[in-house]
């Protein structure tokens, strides 16, 4: 069973590719959490997998919250995660390993997959060029083929791009990010908005409603930026930080 979260499709691609290679089933974490589905029974000897994007050098809070609430009928014998990131993961492995350890579950394997950048919510952050984005996706496909085999064989491995100042980024910056940079009051729809409701449809947390045809963000945002990237007319902005930065969504198949 593979539990996954994705805002803009990168991690969905990774989860779907692994599910196909391992003949496994997918569970979308926000949907399961919304429906209160925290109890699972794994088939005998089945692998337990997690796939998620790295947010501010750590697993997204909603993924950690879900793990905390999950209950398994029997302890898992093989647990792995794959995280997607624009470039570096910091102490994502350490944080996730600890969350699993608190349940008495042991991490067997993990790896990071560099995918096109999706975060542009602050000055200085920008998307990859099209050429770079495609190069990352091509490299990721090769990495996934290789690592799916290793997971199939229940290898124990850790292949993470950690980067420098990992503790500082994954703890100090991450806690400020969660406190201050996930504030959805900075989102707005410009006059270009065509009232199509695509933002409502694509928000994985169902945090957006339409009021008089215009999107309203309702205060429980994880900052995946799906609303911004999927808007068909690029009418959504986050303060001034996103202006003129273009959009990205994963469009390939697995």
Contact positions toward ligand FMN, by CB under 6 A?
Answer: 6-12, 53-57, 84-88, 115-119, 223-225, 250
Beta carbon of residue 65, minimum distance to ligand FMN (angstroms, whole number): 16
User: By CB neighbour count within 10 A (0-12 exposed, 13-18 middle, 19+ buried), where does 158 fall?
Assistant: middle
Nearest residue (CB) to ligand FMN, 57 versus 78: 57
Nearest residue (CB) to ligand FMN, 122 versus 192: 122
Nearest residue (CB) to ligand FMN, 107 versus 223: 223
Q: Which residues contact 26 (CB under 8 A, 6 or more apart)?
A: 2, 4, 15, 16, 19
Beta carbon of residue 202, minimum distance to ligand FMN (angstroms, whole number): 11
Beta carbon of residue 11, minimum distance to ligand FMN (angstroms, whole number): 3
Of 175, 171, 116, nearest in space to 140 by CA:
116
DSSP secondary structure, 195-208, as one string: ---HHHHH-TT--E
Beta carbon of residue 12, minimum distance to ligand FMN (angstroms, whole number): 6
Beta carbon of residue 211, minimum distance to ligand FMN (angstroms, whole number): 25
Beta carbon of residue 175, minimum distance to ligand FMN (angstroms, whole number): 13
Nearest residue (CB) to ligand FMN, 76 versus 136: 136
Cβ(253)–Cβ(204) below 8 Å: no
Nearest residue (CB) to ligand FMN, 78 versus 120: 120
List the alpha helices (DSSP H) in 29-173: 29-34, 61-69, 92-101, 130-152, 166-167
List the alpha helices (DSSP H) in 116-253: 130-152, 166-167, 174-180, 198-202, 226-230
Nearest residue (CB) to ligand FMN, 106 versus 183: 183
Q: Distance between CA 64 and CA 83 in Å, rounded? A: 13
């Amino acid at each position: 069973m593979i539990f996954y979260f994705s805002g803009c499709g990168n991690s969905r691609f990774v989860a779907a590719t692994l599910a196909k290679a391992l003949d496994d089933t997918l569970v979308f974490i926000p949907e399961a959490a919304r429906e209160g589905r925290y109890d699972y029974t794994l088939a005998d000897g089945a692998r337990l997998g997690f796939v998620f994007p790295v947010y501010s050098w750590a697993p997204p809070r909603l993924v950690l919250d879900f793990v905390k609430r999950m209950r398994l009928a029997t302890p898992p014998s093989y647990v792995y995660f794959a995280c997607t990131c624009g470039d570096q993961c910091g102490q994502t492995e350490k944080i996730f390993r600890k969350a699993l350890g608190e349940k008495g579950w042991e991490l067997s394997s993990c790896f990071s997959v560099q995918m096109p950048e999706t975060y542009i919510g602050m000055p200085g952050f920008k998307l990859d060029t099209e050429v770079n984005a495609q190069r990352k996706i091509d490299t990721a496909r090769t990495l996934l083929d290789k690592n799916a085999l290793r997971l199939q064989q229940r290898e124990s491995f850790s292949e993470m791009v950690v980067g420098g100042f990992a503790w500082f980024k994954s703890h100090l910056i991450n806690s400020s990010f969660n406190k201050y940079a996930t504030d959805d009051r900075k989102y707005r729809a410009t006059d270009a908005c065509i009232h199509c409701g695509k933002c409502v449809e694509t928000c994985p947390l169902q945090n957006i409603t339409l009021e008089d045809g215009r999107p309203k963000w309702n205060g429980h945002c994880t900052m995946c930026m799906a609303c911004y990237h999927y808007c068909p007319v690029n009418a959504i902005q986050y303060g001034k930080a996103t202006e003129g930065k273009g959009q990205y969504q994963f469009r390939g198949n697995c």
